[in-house]
Amino acid sequence: MTDNGSSISGILFDKDGTLIDYHESFMPLNWRMAKNLARGDDALARHLMLIGGWDPETDRIKPGTPLAAWTLAEIAEFYHDETAIDDPAETLSIVVQASETGPAEAVAVTDLPAVLGPFKDMGLKLGITTSDHTAAARATVERFGIDGLMDFVAGYDAGYGSKPQPGMIHGFCEAFGLAPETIMVVGDNRHDIEFARAGGAGWAVGVLTGTSVREDLEPIADFVLDDITGLPGLLARL
């Protein structure tokens, strides 16, 4: 158990796989994106899913793969040469359009206001840092009624850089005058843990509602929880 000797002043949450159940929310979206990119070629759509990280035996996305952790721009660039689409901008447009239904189709891992509200009552600053675009993150926040709880919402396009670069941690800390070592980062994959380490966060917490299993996260995270409902108990221990 890590104890950095500091009090917690803020928590940064990943979105997909942390606040949102990844597979419940995004498998239909991933398939729709692949089929749109393949333009009716079912074999190509399956190929795109496979190279994107889909495991057909488990019907899950493998941790650390493009569909698990990359930004929309990175996914579009990765897929472009695999398709018959000439213009990279069109590939990106298809990827982004497929993701636009994400907030409406998202499945929360729990009653988010009930879990997150007490953290605000403790005086903590809360934020979302995601590899999705910022507009989708804000739409998700509004849909689940936590817009009044989140002090900071940033996607890869918010001007801070993408994970695992530390820019979003630094932006969060600078916005509220917080020290990085007093920040807890909560996420579902290696990118999130590396992000926490790069930004000097005091605590890196993994959850199992995304693409990783416990064995993926335990060697690198300070703590691994089944889901964010374990956070109140963890904070009580720290």
Of 77, 201, 63, 75, the closest CA to residue 133 belongs to 75
**H helix runs in 39-133, sequence order:** 42-52, 66-69, 72-80, 88-99, 102-105, 112-121
pLDDT at 103: 85
Q: What share of the chain is helix, strand, coil (3-state, %, to 5)?
A: 45, 15, 40
Question: Residue 3: its pLDDT value, please?
Answer: 46
DSSP-derived secondary structure letter, 62:
P
| CB-CB contact of 187 with 207 (8 Å) | yes
Angle at CA of residue 229, ends 225 and 233, nearest 5°: 75
pTM of the full predicted structure?
A: 0.87
Across the chain, which has 238 residues, the per-10-residue mean pLDDT values are: 67 96 92 95 97 95 91 94 95 90 90 96 96 91 96 96 95 97 96 97 97 94 98 94
pLDDT for 1: 33
pLDDT of residue 238: 86
Write down the pLDDT at residue 30: 94
Q: Give 127's strand partners.
A: 12, 152
**C-alpha distances in angstroms, 235 versus 5, 88, 191?**
13, 45, 23
User: What is the four-CA torsion angle of 190, 194, 197, 199, rounded to 10 degrees?
Assistant: -130
Q: Is the peptide bond before 164 cis (omega within 30 degrees of 0)?
A: yes
Measured between alpha carbons, how far is 163 from 161 in angstroms, rounded to an integer?
7
